Amino acid sequence: MQETTLTRGNLEETQEAYQKHIMATYARFPVVFERGEGPYLWSTDGRRYLDFLAGIAVNAVGHCHPRVVEAIQHQAARLIHVSNLYLISQQAELAQTLCRLSGMEKAFFANSGAEANEAAIKIARKFGRSIRDDKTALVGAEGSFHGRTLGALSLTGQEKYQKPYEPLVPNCSIVPWNNIGALEAAVSDRTCAIVLEPVQGEGGVRPADPEYLQAARDLADRYDALLIFDEVQTGCGRTGTFFAFQGYGVTPDILTVAKAMGGGFPIGGCLARGRAAEVFQPGDHGTTYGGGPLACAAALAALEVIEQEGLADNARKMGRLLEEGLRSLNPPCGVREVRGKGLMLAMVLEQPVARDVLNAAFEEGLLINAIGTDVLRFLPPLIIGEDHISECLELLKKAFARIGA
């Protein structure tokens, strides 16, 4: 029997179609959004939500920033896709911009952060094997998250994501986070790369100690290995500098970026310098869509907004205000810690009620995220001002009151 076409935007019909035809990879909230502007989203029933999750750090310039929208519209009307068998001017301009902002030398573009990390892993393996056949070991950290493709998953130090898909890519070891001794014990002359996030996002918003990143740099140099920083979530102004590594003063050999880079349009990038930048040769790696004209036009516009509107500075200033505000809430369930950098913050509760607070916040019109049972994660657009922070804190206060926690 032929199904009737659903009424676009209708919540009940959309939920029914999801149950029938969409694989259940997410526990989704019962809402359909139809419009976004700045830090706000509107659902199809006309309700407004303050978005302090920003598509998990994607919408750094807010929803539908006019300059990003204009760039997409302009490019879509001229050329949407062309193969990487040909030169793409927007791709070259984006690589030039990212190299200027990061100090890296060359770029490979993909469609996501996971794909960017896959490229980084392949560079590391080929780099290592160019030195000796058994120099293929990769070292990652507990609590990390690098994506859901098999290579990136093999370095994601969280059993819940890895276990169902074992056996994973061999020669990947995971060591305790922020533990210099464990890192020293794991790295050897068989190591081709150390892979770290300067601030772990999915792992609970855990900043690296400066000494830890410096130790990783020193170990990579000592054993002729590459240092890879995954800045998929921390990059493009999120932590108060354009890239988080710049705030630490520790420079990687490879830097991966995505999320905020496209202003909401999917794109990822693997940036490299020195010998790492020369590893890939024609035929070593590729992508059908990565670095296409439309994605690169969107990314150029988003990066221009972040740079020209000083959003990294704003992230640093507003991050301090949000952090102070979260500390001052003092809900009955107790707050063990508020941590993070810039506008990448976590509120660690003393009781396992994060999921309840998350749901209550949604009911109050505030979008945030829960990690595990006791951590609330805040990743607002970098364009927010003091009024938005006050509104967030007021809604969060109501959420705590709603569940009596």
The residues assigned a catalytic role are: 145, 230, 259
Cα distance between residue 181 and residue 174, in whole Å:
13
Cα distance between residue 263 and residue 302, in whole Å:
5
Alpha-helical segments (H) within 177-268: 180-186, 210-222, 244-248
Q: Tokens at residue 44, please?
A: 């199809």
DSSP state for residue 263 in the 8-state scheme = T
User: From its phi and psi, is residue 291 left (phi > 0), alpha (psi between -120 and 50) or beta?
Assistant: left
DSSP state for residue 164 in the 8-state scheme = G
Bond before 167 cis per omega within 30 degrees: yes
Give, in order, the Cα–Cα distances in Å from 196 to each of 121, 204, 251, 268. 12, 14, 12, 17
Amino acid 1 reads M
Amino acid 253 reads D
Nearest alpha carbon to residue 268 among 296, 240, 305: 296
Q: Tokens at residue 78, please?
A: 């001229």
Say if residue 182 is exposed, middle or buried (CB neighbours under 10 Å; 0-12, 13-18, 19+). middle
